[in-house]
Structure 1
């Protein structure tokens, strides 16, 4: 899975906020930016190719849903960075050393609650 561009993030924000599968027109209507229908259609096709969205036929049109939650997608991207570094341990240790106090608190709470085991 690759990173997301600016328009891809806007489209994913719409899909992550949706309670149901959306057609291209519905995604277009929910974006905060004036975009062309074909632009949204292309972005959704690219996101499908990258594995970020699932699509299914509804009549003659496709309906799109996020393949995973925003949090799951973020975790997947972090994992890809870790594994692409060649030295996962060093990257994790460097992150731990450079973590903000808030990030450190989150990690400590998660460890205490057993969420990281």
Structure 2
């Protein structure tokens, strides 16, 4: 295996790393600032490509800043996870079965939290 292959990131890891940098930022960042925050030896053009792909997926917003762009995450991390969950549920699978499996895998603390959230939202009454 080559050194490059041995140091490759898992599929999707760079996008996740870039999003993590944007979530931590208190303002939109340029590709160079994202690259600096990543602390890696990536080319700035690689980071720009990732940011462009994330923009095309509506995961980041961008705005003009001089001749280039600055980028910010479109939503926070928990919002993104919730969106992914909704996407998976809308793929046409048996929603009842998917939700049943999800709920059956919850630990007692998560189950109690989910019940509380559903009660607050008017979804179902709390069970003693």
The TM-score range, normalised by the shorter chain, is 0.7 to 0.9
Asked if 2 retains the 8 angstrom alpha-carbon contact of 1:85 and 1:91, the reply is no
Q: Tell me the equivalent position of 1:62.
A: 69
Decide which of 4, 7, 16 is 1:9's aligned counterpart.
Answer: 16
Equivalent residue number for residue 116 of structure 2? 109
Deviations 1:71-101 (A, max 9, x none): 1110000111111142112211121112122
Higher relative contact order (CA 8 A, sep 6+): 1
1:32 CA displacement: 3.8
In the alignment, what sits opposite 2:90? 83
Could you state the TM-score of these two structures normalised by the residue count of structure 2?
A: 0.80
Moved over 3 A (4+): none
Larger radius of gyration: 2
Query: Which ranges in structure 1 are unaligned for 5 or more consecutive residues?
Result: none
Do structure 1's residue 19 and structure 2's residue 31 form an aligned pair?
no
Partner of 2:4: none
- Computed over aligned residues only, the root mean square deviation of the Cα atoms, in angstroms, reads 1.7
Q: Quote the offset at 1:116 in angstroms.
A: 6.5
| Gap runs ≥5 in structure 2 | 1-10, 124-128
Which whole-Å CA distance do the structure 2 matches of 1:116 and 1:69 have between them? 25
Q: What TM-score, normalized to structure 1?
A: 0.87
